[in-house]
Structure 1
Amino acid sequence: MQNRPSFPMFKLLICSLSVLLIVFFLFLPTIEFFSDDSTLQSTASSNELEDQSLYDLILLYATSLFATVSFFALGAAVGSYLNVIVYRVPRKLPLTFSRSSCPACGSPIKLSDNIPLISWLRLKGRCRDCQAPINIRYPLVEFSVAAIFLILYFRELISGGANIPFREPNLYNGVLWILFYTKWDLVRLYLLHCFMLTSLLGWALINADGFRIPISSLLTCLCIVLIAILIWPDLIPLKSTLHSVHAPHRSDVLISLFFGTVSGALFAPVLVWIIRKTGLSDFTHLNSVNYSFILCGMIYGWQAMLTIFLMTFIFILLQQISTRHFEIHVLRAPGYAVFLSVFAFHYFWRSLAWF
């Protein structure tokens, strides 16, 4: 009878294969790309592949696939931590130095059972110890955040900023030209906007659970965004008088931050008042609407808030129609409508930035 390999040896084998794949799909193409002058001369962008050999094409597609999977996995990991935040913050539980546990039996969750998306499927949606069902919302949130990271990866990052207004999209785009010849301004914009959309989704989830979002959550997000924008003013795309690309001055950025934040703080109570007066929602806590508008005003500027206000109102009406007539109750919290409207606005930001 043959002996089966021990579990540590199996893990070592998997890790070794993973390292080999990373070396083959990522580091070798990168080193070869930077060291090959003919590649730079013959390739205007990663989309022009006529002069490439079959080997170069395979490496390019493999590298693109690896980068795509990596950004999706990063989003899923952030979504997993967002589940922790949504559960612990309103209950005033610590976010650090404590392992996740099963809400039913209290058993600590093993690291091997805490892999985003994969663990829920492997456990068939049940706790390993007590077999209590695990809410399907956990993998759905992980998948939603992963989808945010992936969609913005294609729409904003490797497209060269195709959706960013008042900024000429990068002529050389794609994985190689954006990531390997790193365009740090695009990377910073991408991370900021992923952070914003993930925060909006988290606030919507907390309100949907019937909790009020603590003010500390808003202040933390505003401080992070403010510090990032003050360090890198180009995170706020501004329209110049000559309609040309320019590096905004910090004074212009501060003015945009002030008026944007104030406009968000003014539009939000109006929307909440309309929701309550018209009976569009029976939720007790709606401060996710207020917090989302304030954060969006800081990032998008006052010019965008009227459009976001109107889009959110339309989304809320559609939300109520689907709830009452089609009995779709999954996304009936107004915070979800805010998140979806902001996501739609961000996707078409360049087209909707009309002044």
Structure 2
Amino acid sequence: MLSPEHLISPALMYGQNLGIYEFRSQGSRNPGIQNPESRIQNPESRIQNPESRIQNPESRIQNPENPGILKSRNPGIQQSCNPGTQECRNPGIQESMIHRNLRISESQNLRISESQNLRISESQNLRISESQNLRISESQNLRISESQNLRISESQKSQNLRISKSQNLRISESQNLRISESQNLRIAELQSLRISKPQNFKISDSQNLKISKSQNLKILESLNLRISESRNLRISEFPESQNLKISKSQNLKISKSQNLKILESQNFRITESQNLRISETQNLRISESRNLRISEFPEFQNFKSSESQNRRTLIRTIGG
């Protein structure tokens, strides 16, 4: 018969096993039944997880929020990945990031859905290139502030920028919005497009901008709108309840065989020392009860028409 000192209780066995596990590496190969965080129960061990402590600089030592299980995709650390690389899987873009570049290239999809916020602040660049889709849906906010650049360029072909379902697109504080090379910018279903504080809005190289269905387009106060080279400016479909206002000596220019259509009881307003340029066979369309507002800083506005266009002709065309 064995003496009591020869007997080892299950609790003692668990305690010894747990003590050994704490001093071992993260990828413990101990398949002990008593260890709940062994390789069998833990899917994020070193063998199954390629992003272990060796490859992942955010291991237990660097990550104070990691209780012992490696989580390379921990949302607590927002700057865990390099925004310049394509392998970055962290969608978080924090205001603490300064002078960072976010590039999405080579036929990739960026989708933001279900009441999410996309904020890019403090002089950052957002670039989307090479046949990519940018979709923002379901009551989301897209805000770009503090001298930032939003560029969709660099040999891009057949790209779609769609913002749908009661979303807000705001660009403020001396920012540039450029869409080039056969791209489509569509804003649908009760959305607001606001550009404020001396910003530039440029659409070039065979792009489409559509505004339709009871939307508001406001261009006020020292802004530049240029339409040139055999283009069509049409405001059709329920022209009764539409308002087109261009105030304080502003510039309206559309160049190179482009079409500007505003449909179904919409308002067209451009305000506050901004530039709206549409060039090279592009279409500007905004549809389905949306608001396009460019506001703030009502000073020094010029109204000019170019290439065999008269101010009266433009006003008549604008008035439908």
Fold conserved (TM > 0.5)?
no
Greater RCO, 1 or 2 (C-alpha within 8 Å, sep 6+): 1
- Name the structure where strand makes up a greater proportion of residues: 2
Question: Which of the five TM-score ranges fits, normalised by the shorter chain?
Answer: under 0.3
**What's the TM-score, normalizing by structure 2?**
0.23
**What's the TM-score, normalizing by structure 1?**
0.22
Pick the structure with greater CA Rg: 2
